[in-house]
Chain A
Amino acid sequence: MTAFLGTVGVGLGLVGAIGGAATLAMALFSRRREHHRRVFWWVGAMTAGCVLAVLAMEVGLLRDDFSMQYVAANSTRATPWLYKIATLWGALEGSLLLWALVLSGYVTAVSISFRRRIEDRLVAWALLTMLAVCVFFFGLLAAPADPFGTLLVAPLDGDGLNPLLRNHPLMAIHPVMLYLGYVGFTVPFGFAVAALITGRVGEGWLVTTRVWTLIAWGSLTVGILLGAWWSYEVLGWGGYWAWDPVENASLLPWLTGTAFLHSVIVQERRGMLRVWNLSLLLATFALTIFGTFLTRSGVIDSVHEFSASSLGPLLLGLFAAILVVSVALIGWRGDQLRSPGSIDSPVSREGAFLANNLLFTLFAFIVLLGTVFPLIVEAINNDQLAVGRPYFDRMLLPLGVALLLVMGIAPLLTWRSTSAHLLGNRALGPAALGALTMAAAVWLGAEGFGPVLGIGLGGFVIGSAVRHLVLTARRQGWRAATGRAGGGMVAHIGVSLLAFGFIASTSFSEEGEFQLRPGEVGSVAGHQIRFVQLTDEMDGPNRVVRAQIEVEGRGIYAPAITQYPTFGRPIATPSVATSLVDDVYLSLVAIPEENSDVVVVRVLVEPLVGWIWVGGFVIAAGTVLAIVPERRKRHSEMEDIVA
């Protein structure tokens, strides 16, 4: 019954999406304005259907309805209720259902927000584009990735997810945030396509979609960082970013999206870079589909990989279709996209935005190349090769340093051109802060040219962001931190904090491995750890071995290692003694031998890891502040000239 309701929901969703798209298409071609409004009924039906399908799946999961194939394959009776809910996005079909839900939510929000402008051809085309994407995803759910298949004989208990996916609450939030970001880029994509089709390629559609782009970007940022945090807390290797293909797939649209958020300012202000901005948006959306293809087709090996499925060709087809349509539309509107303006000097705000864009797109290109290169080589001459972390570090760290430099300089520059004298004056304070940060880092024991340079540039970025905020606050008070410029500067501070945490934890970490009996002590980087005792319990069918370890001055922590009967290798669950200065990361290397009380503990001391999460929070806060409208009305170019 539940599965049947789910199937009905998916069917209603598909019919709603097709009906909505057809209604809008007919209204647009027949130019009968009064017909546009009918689309709202279809959107409502689609969303209601999707909600019904998601509810059916959740009910099935919570009530252990193992006659549903998805529930039997991915849930167990013993799974706690939070993870039962989260199992919706734990496997292929369910994750597409979540995708459809988020997409329906966005389409509904756009419909409500633009309900008075639906007769506007720009809005109608944008909604039509989004509905076309809906048709694709509901189509996947209807046939090749049907989440509501049933079993003739229901098993007594299900198989359950990979245990890694059900032992931390972050798993319940990270995918949702990531999807809010990923799917959210469908909205600006729709408007970009609409702008090209209607020929209204001026700045209007950009202003219209600004908030939507920011919401998508902010959610994606938070989603990626939550994933990194989860990996740090759960996977037990002590890191948070591995340049894994699926991590890269989530980073790619973030990179092009970030480039877009910056270069769009040049267009709004100067009317330039129209083709470029459109291309960045179209590429961002295309990359989200490409990332989905990488994760769900089984072409790559990754911890994130979903079960291999037949969706690969379909997703690749959608990706190709987006590329072809994008290129064709830009080619078709080429003449109208040419903008008359020019950039006077590279030493100017717009020059800095161009440098930003160059670095971000180069960054994205290298990430993309490194991710797909093993596939390309294998296709050409069947060679197996890996492109691992050392490659990405070597290629991308210099770009990261350059980005920090541009981030520090850009807020100091004026539009059009900046004289050396003015820049010298404005940059002095931030540069002094940067130099002092370096000196402090060296005094605290930092070593190495690259890391210390990066830390210094982080200080420089904070200096120039704070300078901007303080100067604006003199006129506007706390509202200085709102609007695009203010929120942007807050986000820049967050990026610097994140950079400090990243640099310190990767460059200055120390580690040790100890074999300890109860009462014995080990020491890493000035931290003493003492093994107190071992507990060995059965938690249901799972054997959990826990070591109580006292970290001097921080209390007792209990890293564990669990043997699941349905899963081969034992899974280590690390335990982290966190502070703002450094983290002491404890993980058990193996299940201790029978009748032995010796444990093998790996201890990692990583400075400033906590700053990464704090930095992420500040970036999120900056994004929210950027959505708050500025009080001061934007000067138009004309007013600037006249003044």
Chain B
Amino acid sequence: MNTRLWVSWLCVMIVACGSLLVAAVAEDPPATEAQRAYEIKATILCPVCDGQNVLESNAPVATAIRAQVDELVEQGRSDEEIRAWMARQYGSDVNAIPPRTGIASLVWIVPVFVAVVSIGALVFAFVRWRAGRELEVSDEDLRIVRALREKK
């Protein structure tokens, strides 16, 4: 590659990485209690409305859960404790995040496994294609190519 291309790419990379760095630093972790409560509410489903979390739902029980989360956060309970409390109170299917233990953990593991296997299969296919690439050219092939060239 020539120098100008290198320099141009360097500039592009500096702008890109600089932007990403600024963006990553600017995002502060949820520090205040209100932010923590907000994040928890976003992962608890409203028990009576299909698929909405308690932040989005106006159902009375969602309003009640929001208040309970605020209270539990104020008491200084950890995220896990609050989630467990909600599961006891309203059933384990209010937790929008499937647990990472027991049979439920499969929903996290299986996709990773499938991804690894399929990438492996693709790599294997490329290796095999590469090995079989030296195709033999028969006299017949050469004749066809020559005939086509002459036609041109």
In the assembled complex, A538 has its CB within 8 A of some CB on chain B: no
Query: Do B27 and A447 touch (CB < 8 A)?
Result: yes
Chain B residues with CB under 8 Å of A424's CB are: 1, 5, 9
Known: A438-B20, A451-B23. A342 touches B111 (CB 8 A): no
In the assembled complex, A324 has its CB within 8 A of some CB on chain B: no
Known: A342-B132, A449-B23. A388 touches B96 (CB 8 A): yes
In the assembled complex, A439 has its CB within 8 A of some CB on chain B: yes
Query: Do A342 and B97 touch (CB < 8 A)?
Result: no
Chain B 5-31 interface mask (CB, 8 Å, partner A; 1/0): 100110111011011101110110000
Choose one: A242, A421, A448, A572; the contact of B58 (CB below 8 Å): A572
Query: Do A388 and B92 touch (CB < 8 A)?
Result: no
Q: Which of A204-255 contact B (CB under 8 A)?
A: 236-239, 242-245
Q: Which of B100-149 contact A (CB under 8 A)?
A: 103-104, 106-107, 110-111, 114-115, 118-119, 122, 125-126, 129-130, 132-133, 145, 148-149
Query: Do B115 and A362 touch (CB < 8 A)?
Result: yes
Query: Do B15 and A386 touch (CB < 8 A)?
Result: no
CA distance A594 to B149 in the complex (A): 91
Task: Give chain B nearest CB distance to A295 CB in angstroms.
Answer: 13
**6 A-B pairs in the complex with CB atoms less than 8 angstroms apart:** A301-B51, A370-B107, A388-B96, A421-B1, A435-B13, A452-B23
Task: Give chain A nearest CB distance to B24 CB in angstroms.
Answer: 4
Query: Do A380 and B103 touch (CB < 8 A)?
Result: yes
In the assembled complex, A86 has its CB within 8 A of some CB on chain B: no
Query: Do B20 and A449 touch (CB < 8 A)?
Result: yes
In the assembled complex, A152 has its CB within 8 A of some CB on chain B: no
In the assembled complex, A446 has its CB within 8 A of some CB on chain B: yes
CA distance A436 to B15 in the complex (A): 7
> Which of A426-434, A469-477, A488-496 binds B?
A426-434
Query: Do B148 and A435 touch (CB < 8 A)?
Result: no
Known: A342-B129, A369-B107, A448-B27. A385 touches B12 (CB 8 A): no
Task: Give chain A nearest CB distance to B59 CB in angstroms.
Answer: 7
Task: Give chain B nearest CB distance to A279 CB in angstroms.
Answer: 14
Choose one: B9, B27, B50, B99; the contact of A303 (CB below 8 Å): B50
Known: A302-B51, A642-B148. A362 touches B24 (CB 8 A): no
Interface residues on B, range: 35 or more
Known: A237-B52, A343-B126, A447-B27. A366 touches B16 (CB 8 A): no
Known: A303-B51, A388-B51, A424-B9. A439 touches B19 (CB 8 A): yes
Chain B residues with CB under 8 Å of A447's CB are: 23, 26-27
Indicate the member of B50, B132, B148 with the most A CB atoms within 10 Å: B50
Choose one: B50, B52, B93; the contact of A374 (CB below 8 Å): B93
Chain A residues with CB under 8 Å of B110's CB are: 369
Query: Do A366 and B15 touch (CB < 8 A)?
Result: no
Q: Which of A431-480 contact B (CB under 8 A)?
A: 431-432, 434-436, 438-439, 441-442, 446-449, 451-453, 456
CA distance A388 to B99 in the complex (A): 11
Chain B residues with CB under 8 Å of A428's CB are: 5, 8-9, 12
Query: Do B58 and A239 touch (CB < 8 A)?
Result: no
Query: Do B16 and A387 touch (CB < 8 A)?
Result: no
Q: A302-B50, A431-B9 are in contact. List 9 more A-B contacts (CB 8 A).
A: A244-B51, A342-B133, A385-B95, A385-B98, A390-B97, A421-B1, A439-B19, A447-B23, A452-B20
Query: Do B94 and A386 touch (CB < 8 A)?
Result: yes
Query: Do A387 and B19 touch (CB < 8 A)?
Result: no
Task: Give chain A nearest CB distance to B121 CB in angstroms.
Answer: 9
Chain A residues with CB under 8 Å of B8's CB are: 428, 432
Task: Give chain B nearest CB distance to A508 CB in angstroms.
Answer: 11
Residues of chain A at the chain B interface (Cβ within 8 Å): 236-239, 242-245, 301-303, 305, 342-344, 346, 354, 358, 361-362, 365-366, 369-370, 373-374, 377, 380-381, 383-391, 395, 420-421, 424-425, 428, 431-432, 434-436, 438-439, 441-442, 446-449, 451-453, 456, 569, 572, 589-590, 638, 641-642
Choose one: B98, B111, B125, B145; the contact of A642 (CB below 8 Å): B145
Query: Do B51 and A590 touch (CB < 8 A)?
Result: no
Known: A362-B111, A442-B23, A642-B152. A391 touches B97 (CB 8 A): yes
Task: Give chain B nearest CB distance to A144 CB in angstroms.
Answer: 25
CA distance A89 to B11 in the complex (A): 56
Residues of chain B at the chain A interface (Cβ within 8 Å): 1, 5, 8-9, 11-13, 15-16, 18-20, 22-24, 26-27, 42-43, 45, 50-53, 56-59, 91-99, 103-104, 106-107, 110-111, 114-115, 118-119, 122, 125-126, 129-130, 132-133, 145, 148-149, 152
Choose one: A242, A366, A425; the contact of B51 (CB below 8 Å): A242
Indicate the member of A365, A438, A446 with the most B CB atoms within 10 Å: A438
Q: Which residue of B lies closest to A572 (CB)?
A: B58
Indicate the member of B43, B56, B95, B145 with the most A CB atoms within 10 Å: B56
Chain A residues with CB under 8 Å of B91's CB are: 384
Chain A residues with CB under 8 Å of B1's CB are: 420-421, 424
CA distance A242 to B56 in the complex (A): 11
Query: Do A386 and B118 touch (CB < 8 A)?
Result: no
Query: Do A442 and B92 touch (CB < 8 A)?
Result: no
Q: Which residue of B lies closest to A242 (CB)?
A: B51
Q: Which residue of B lies closest to A443 (CB)?
A: B19
Q: Which residue of B lies closest to A394 (CB)?
A: B97
Task: Give chain B nearest CB distance to A621 CB in angstroms.
Answer: 30
Query: Do A354 and B122 touch (CB < 8 A)?
Result: yes
Indicate the member of A370, A384, A452 with the most B CB atoms within 10 Å: A452
Task: Give chain A nearest CB distance to B118 CB in angstroms.
Answer: 6
Question: What are the 7 tightest A-B residue pairs by CB atom distance, in nearest-first order?
Answer: A388-B96, A237-B56, A438-B19, A452-B23, A342-B129, A435-B15, A435-B16
Query: Do A381 and B103 touch (CB < 8 A)?
Result: yes
Query: Do A366 and B5 touch (CB < 8 A)?
Result: no
Known: A342-B132, A438-B20. A431 touches B12 (CB 8 A): yes
Task: Give chain B nearest CB distance to A197 CB in angstroms.
Answer: 28
Chain B residues with CB under 8 Å of A381's CB are: 103
Query: Do B118 and A387 touch (CB < 8 A)?
Result: no
CA distance A245 to B50 in the complex (A): 10
Chain A residues with CB under 8 Å of B52's CB are: 237, 242
